Amino acid sequence: MTKEQTNVPVWFKYTLTISEASEYFNIGEKKMRQLVQENDTADYILTNGVKVLIKRKQFEQFIDETGSI
């Protein structure tokens, strides 16, 4: 089985990297990093060592409740 065959589509993933979240939510990577930095205790952020992951559904809820970013 190749790596491409084992990749999970982004819309099925529980967490997304900054790059994946940027593409999925159509928000620039710089803005995504700024949101993470400004809201470092937000429910939608998960850190794995130095790696930052975005919890997809929680971030969707954050966007739904936010008028602008």
Of the options 3.90.105.50, 3.40.640.10, 3.30.2450.30, 2.30.40.10, the CATH number for the domain spanning 3-65: 3.90.105.50
- The model carries a pTM of 0.83
CA distances from 62 to 4, 16, 22, 25, 57 (A): 31, 15, 15, 12, 9
What residues does each domain of the chain span? 3-65
Give the tens place of pLDDT for each residue, 42-59. 999 999 999 999 999 999
Give the tens place of pLDDT for each residue, 14-35. 999 999 999 999 999 999 999 9
46: left (phi over 0), alpha (psi -120 to 50) or beta: beta
